[in-house]
């Protein structure tokens, strides 16, 4: 699919995210968590970039991997939106009031025992980050409309008796794969940029 000729419309994306039947997933023993999928508008009228982080090698889970900012839900988090915003502030120094929440993608269970709720958020540039050096080794952005051309299938994997397709997006320095790639793919599908919706929660059972 080619890049759309019309400008990026965050209100249309928000409507699409909130009007559709979102797939939820719950399983005993899985820890609720949330990430922010940050769409960064460098300036008015520009196309957005997708912001990714690289986790430090010393973390107990997902060490060294490309991810979206986020983490486990804490008891005082009233909603998973709150979890995504709190973790983004802790990891990148972005205050909640600087994020416009557009809606949620489908739940994303992982073999590590987390059930991730991806929360799509819009950030207006220029972006000033203060990464937490204990958790974030690096950050980078990829233009949203370049991502379809960077996609490739990354083989098959089996979990709990189910065989599913792995996804990957090419980057000159880092590997965007796993749950992060699946979330990215679903976002592109909702925007009409990719023909495949990514990994459904039911595929992980």
Separation CA 35–CA 96 (nearest Å): 13
Q: Which tokens is 164 given?
A: 């599913």
Distances (CA, A) of 113 to 85, 104, 127, 140, 141: 21, 20, 32, 27, 27
Per-residue pLDDT of the chain (205 residues; tens, 9 = 90+): 445 556 889 999 999 999 998 877 777 678 899 999 999 998 777 899 999 999 887 655 555 689 999 999 999 999 999 999 999 999 999 999 999 999 999 998 887 788 899 999 999 878 889 999 898 999 999 999 999 999 998 777 776 666 777 889 999 999 999 899 999 999 999 999 988 655 555 554 3
Separation CA 56–CA 60 (nearest Å): 10
Distances (CA, A) of 78 to 38, 82, 84, 100, 121: 21, 7, 11, 18, 18
Would you say 41 and 125 are in contact if contact means Cβ atoms under 8 Å apart?
yes
Whole-model pTM: value is 0.89
Domain residue spans in the chain?
11-19+28-144
Domain 11-19+28-144 has CATH 3.90.79.10: yes
Which phi and psi angles does 49 have, rounded to 5°?
-105, 150
């Amino acid at each position: 699919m080619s890049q759309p000729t019309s400008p990026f419309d965050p209100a249309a994306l928000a409507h699409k995210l909130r009007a559709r039947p979102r797939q939820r997933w719950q399983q005993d023993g899985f820890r609720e968590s949330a990430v922010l999928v940050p769409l960064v508008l460098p300036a008015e009228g520009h196309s957005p970039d997708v912001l990714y982080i690289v986790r430090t090698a010393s973390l107990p889970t997902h060490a060294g991997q490309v991810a979206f900012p986020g983490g486990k839900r804490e008891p005082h988090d009233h909603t998973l939106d709150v979890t995504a915003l709190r973790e983004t502030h802790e990891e990148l120094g972005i205050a909640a009031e600087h994020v416009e929440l557009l809606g949620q993608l489908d739940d994303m269970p992982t073999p590590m025992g987390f059930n991730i709720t991806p929360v799509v958020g819009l950030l207006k540039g220029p972006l000033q980050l203060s990464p937490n050096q204990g958790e974030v080794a690096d950050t980078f952005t990829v233009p949203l409309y370049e991502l379809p051309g960077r996609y490739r299938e990354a083989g098959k994997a089996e979990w709990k008796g189910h065989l599913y397709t792995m996804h990957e997006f090419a980057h000159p320095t880092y590997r965007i794969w796993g749950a992060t790639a699946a979330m990215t793919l679903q976002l592109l599908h909702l925007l009409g940029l990719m023909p495949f919706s990514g990994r459904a929660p039911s595929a992980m059972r």
